[in-house]
A and B are shown apart, each in its own frame.
Chain A
Amino acid sequence: MEFDFSPVIDYLPVLLQGVGVTLLIGVAVAVMSVVGGQIVAVITLYTRKMVNWPLRFFIWLFMTTPLLLQLYFLYFGIGEWILIPAIVVGVLGLGFHYMAYNADIFIATIKSVSSGQYEASRSLGFGHLATLFYVVLPQAFNRALPQLSNNMIIMVKDISVLSAIGIGEMVYVSQYAISVTFRPFEFYITITVIYYLINLMMEAGQTWIERRAAYRS
C-alpha cells in the first residue's frame, strides 16, 4: 500500500478549521466546567441538603451515564420541543458532563482546607463569604489543579464524540475529507499527530501549573 499525503495537503484548510473548532469548544467547556464546578461544589457544601439535592442529583446523573447518551438526550430528545444549535448542545453537554466531574474534585479539595485557615481568616475580621473567596477557594483551586488538568486533557479527546451530533470538529471534518478522497489512513494519521501535539502542549502546561501550585500550597 502506498501513502499519498497530497489529499491531506489539499484538505489542510478544512482540517485546520476542525482543529479550530475543537480548540474553541475546548476553551468554552474548560471555562464552563471549572467555574460551574466550583459553584456547584460551594452550593453543595454550604447549603442545606434540602436545598442542594437537585445539584447532587445532577452530579450523580452526569457521572453515571455515558457522554454520548447525554448528548443524544440534549440534541435529539430535547430537540423534539426546542431546536438548539448543535454547537450549543455540544458545549452545554460536555460542559455539564465535566462540570459534574470537576465539582466532585472541588468538593474534596475545599474540604481539605484546614480549619486553621478558616480561623486565621475569621480572626482577621473576614466574614464567611470573604473567607471563602480570599482564602478557601484559591487554595482548593490550587489543590484541584493536577486532577483538573487531567480532566481537561481527557475532555479535549472527548470533543470527538461531538461528531455524532454533526459538529465540525477534527474527527468530523476528517471523516468528511475521507469520504471525498478515500484516503482514510493518511487523514487518521494526520489527526492522530495533531491530537498528540495538542496533548503535548497541554501536558507541558499541566507540569508548569502543578509546579507553581505546589509552591503555593
Chain B
Amino acid sequence: MTQTTETPMVELKGVKKRFGDLEVLKGIDLRVDRGRIISIIGPSGSGKSTLLRSVNNLEVIDEGQILLDGVQVNRPDLKGLAFEKHINHIRQNMGMVFQHFNLFPHLSTLENVTLAPRKLKGVSTSIARELGMELLERVGLADKAQVYPSALSGGQKQRVAIARALAMQPKVMLFDEATSALDPELVEEVNRVMKGLAEEHMTMLIVTHEMAFARDVSDWAMFMDGGVVVEANTPEHLFSHPDQERTQHFLRKHLGTQG
C-alpha cells in the first residue's frame, strides 16, 4: 500500500496471539491510513476475526503492538483499573459491528444509538436524540426509532448496530462479518450503508465473506490463512490475478460456490 509520512489510523506490528497451544496470529503487520478501507478475507479459522477483535482488545494479544492514530492500544504495562480506563477511552474512538448485531434488546432502537453518547460523553438527552435520529435517518430507519430490536429484521438490526457504533463518532469502524448472519436478500441493505460510509471516507477494517462487496468497496484486500497474511494487494489484483496458490484455491472455491 502507498506509504505516507502521516500517522496511520491503525497500525499492527508483529501481532501474535495464542489460544492455548494454538497460535492463531503468527506475527501480523498492517498499516491502515486515514480514510482507507481494508478488506480481510480468508477461510474459517484463518485468524481474520481474531485479528479484528484484537484491534479493540476484545482479544488480548500476546506479542506485538497495535496503535490507533499513534496511540498504543495494547498496554501490557498497565494493570487493573489503569488499563480499564485506558481501553475504555480507546474504544470510544473505534466502532465495532458484530456478526450477530448484539443490539441491546431492552432498549428501543433510538436508545440503542444514544446510550453511549449520553452515558459516556455526557451528551444531553435532547441533543443525543437529535444525533440518534440523524444517524437512524442515515441508515434508513428513522421510522423505527421507538421500536424494540425484537421487532426488527436482521438487516434492520445490523443497520441500527452500525448507527450505534457511529454515534460515538469513531475514527475507525471495524466490521466483523457484518452480513454473514443475514438472509441473502437482506445483505444488500447493509452493504449499501457500508458503501455510504466508504464514500464519506470513513476508515474501515472489514472482515467479510462477500467477495464482490470486498472487491467493490475496498482500497486494499488481504487474504489470511493459518494465522498469517498470505497475500495483500489492491482488490483488482487480489481478486483477478492472485499471486499465491492458496489465494487462488480459496477464491476459486469461494467464487465458484457464490456464482
Contact = CB atoms under 8 A, between A and B. Distances in A.
B102 A216 contact: no
Contact of A120 (B89, B94, B102, B151): B102
A135 interface: yes
B104 A126 contact: no
Interface residues of A, number: 23
A125 B148 contact: no
A120 B84 contact: no
Given A120-B98, A216-B148, A217-B150, A126 B116 contact: yes
Contact of A126 (B88, B95, B150): B88
Contact of B116 (A114, A124, A128, A139): A124
B165 A124 contact: yes
B91 A125 contact: yes
Contacts of A119: 58, 96, 98, 102
A120 B107 CA distance: 14
B120 interface: yes
B89 A117 contact: no
A131 to B, nearest CB: 10
B129 to A, nearest CB: 17
B164 interface: yes
Interface string B85-128: 10011011011101010111111000000011001100000000
B146 to A, nearest CB: 12
B56 interface: yes
Nearest to B81: A127
Interface residues of B, number: 30
Contacts of B85: 127
A150 to B, nearest CB: 21
A166 interface: no
Interface in A196-217: 214-217
A123 B150 contact: no
Contacts of A120: 96, 98, 102-104, 161
A142 B104 CA distance: 12
A139 B112 CA distance: 13
B12 interface: no
Interface in A152-191: none
A49 interface: no
B98 A116 contact: yes
A117 B107 CA distance: 12
A91 B81 CA distance: 39
A124 B168 contact: yes
A123 B58 CA distance: 8
A122 B91 contact: yes
Given A116-B98, A130-B119, A215-B148, A125 B104 contact: no
A117 B105 CA distance: 9
A113 to B, nearest CB: 10
B150 A127 contact: no
Given A123-B56, A126-B116, A216-B148, A138 B106 contact: yes
A123 B91 contact: yes
Interface in A103-144: 114, 116-117, 119-128, 130, 134-135, 138-139, 142
Contact of A117 (B104, B119, B150, B151): B104
Contacts of A117: 102, 104
Interface of B: 56, 58, 84-85, 88-89, 91-92, 94-96, 98, 100, 102-107, 115-116, 119-120, 148, 150-151, 161, 164-165, 168
29 contacts: A114-B102, A116-B98, A116-B100, A116-B102, A119-B96, A119-B98, A120-B102, A120-B103, A120-B104, A121-B104, A122-B58, A123-B58, A123-B95, A123-B96, A123-B165, A124-B120, A125-B89, A125-B91, A125-B120, A126-B116, A127-B84, A128-B84, A135-B104, A139-B105, A142-B105, A215-B148, A215-B150, A217-B105, A217-B150
3 residue pairs, one from A and one from B, having the closest CB atoms: A120-B102, A125-B92, A123-B96
Given A117-B102, A120-B104, A123-B56, 8 more contacts: A119-B58, A120-B96, A125-B92, A127-B84, A135-B104, A214-B150, A215-B148, A216-B105
